């Protein structure tokens, strides 16, 4: 789960995993909230269901999950980072629509619930931290805790679709091609479009997948600027280490008065993929 390159990605929680600190996670959620919630709506979660938010981070999705299941449903959550789980737990009283929720600290490879506890699992922006073997373990564990006929919905970032303007059209794709040449976080960010294959291999049926492009046009909102400037700065530093620094200079300083994303033609996009599988009988 923790590859050697995570330090270079920065913004880590206590787990050491890059881009898991609640400040960067919250900024990303706020920047993409409308699109994220549309993908959540596509998952198929129903009123009255018992739902697990697997890899809940600081709890951004919890109030929206609670609205989907309504007062007769129940939402539980788990995150690997103890401080993120604690923050999600503290935030719960601030959401009056939230059904009774329990937030745990734990590893998705070994969940503290018996078989068939839930009707659905929502797992967002989490499997990017797993290698292929770990992804198989986690999908098997999520299947275990969901009743037959229930669903497991996995949403994650597809790095193939990341691009920005004004910048060279291949700036980001060249970086991820080079960074993904060896095992690690970049390669796992490039695996997302194959999620349906992993879900099928884990024994789910009626698997469906949808990939969307999330676009941000100038003038970018405050949350989008906060997240994408910080993310681009980390990519710029890594591109330099890979000998790909040319073209990344304008993105290197988030505080620059001439940052590309502040320009009238500023633009940045990312892909997000949702894969949903149904737990079979038995």
pLDDT in tens, 121-166: 999 999 999 999 999 999 999 999 999 999 999 999 999 999 999 9
What token pair was written down for 96? 């009056």
Percentage of residues of the chain with pLDDT beyond 70: 96
Confidence at 11, pLDDT banded by 50, 70, 90: confident
Q: What's this model's pTM, rounded to 2 decimal places?
A: 0.95
Give the chain's domains with CATH numbers. 6-278 (3.40.50.150)
Phi, psi of 14 (to 5 degrees): -65, -20
In tens, the pLDDT along 66-125 reads 999 988 899 999 999 999 999 998 887 766 656 566 899 999 999 999 999 999 999 999
Helix, strand or coil, per DSSP, at residue 51: strand
- Which residues does residue 101 pair with via DSSP β-bridges, in sequence order? 75
- Least Cα distance to 104 among 114, 96, 112 occurs for 112
Q: Are strands 74-79 and 50-54 parallel, antiparallel or unpaired?
A: parallel
């Amino acid at each position: 789960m923790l590859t050697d390159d995570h330090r270079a990605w920065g913004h880590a929680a206590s787990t050491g995993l890059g881009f898991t600190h609640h400040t960067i996670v919250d900024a990303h959620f706020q920047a993409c909230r409308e699109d994220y919630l549309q993908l959540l709506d596509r998952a198929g979660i129903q009123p009255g269901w018992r739902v697990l938010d697997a890899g809940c981070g600081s709890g951004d999705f919890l109030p929206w999950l609670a609205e989907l299941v309504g007062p007769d449903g129940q939402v539980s959550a788990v995150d690997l980072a103890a401080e993120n789980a604690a923050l999600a737990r503290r935030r719960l009283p601030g959401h009056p629509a939230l059904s009774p929720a329990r937030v745990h600290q734990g590893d998705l490879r070994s969940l503290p619930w018996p078989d068939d506890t839930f009707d659905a699992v929502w797992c967002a922006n989490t499997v990017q931290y797993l290698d292929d073997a770990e992804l198989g373990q986690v999908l098997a564990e999520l299947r275990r805790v969901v009743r037959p006929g229930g669903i497991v919905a996995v949403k994650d970032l597809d790095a193939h679709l990341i691009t920005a303007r004004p910048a060279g059209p291949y700036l980001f794709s060249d970086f991820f091609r080079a960074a993904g040449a060896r095992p690690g976080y970049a390669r796992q960010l490039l695996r997302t479009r194959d999620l349906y294959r992993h879900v099928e291999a884990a024994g789910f049926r009626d698997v469906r997948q949808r990939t969307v492009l999330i676009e941000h046009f100038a003038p970018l909102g405050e949350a989008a600027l906060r997240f994408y400037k910080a993310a681009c700065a980390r990519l710029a530093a890594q591109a330099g280490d890979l000998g790909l620094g040319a073209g990344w200079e304008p993105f290197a300083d988030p505080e620059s008065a001439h940052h590309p994303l502040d320009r009238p033609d500023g633009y940045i996009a990312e892909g997000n993929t949702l894969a949903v599988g149904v737990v079979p009988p038995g």
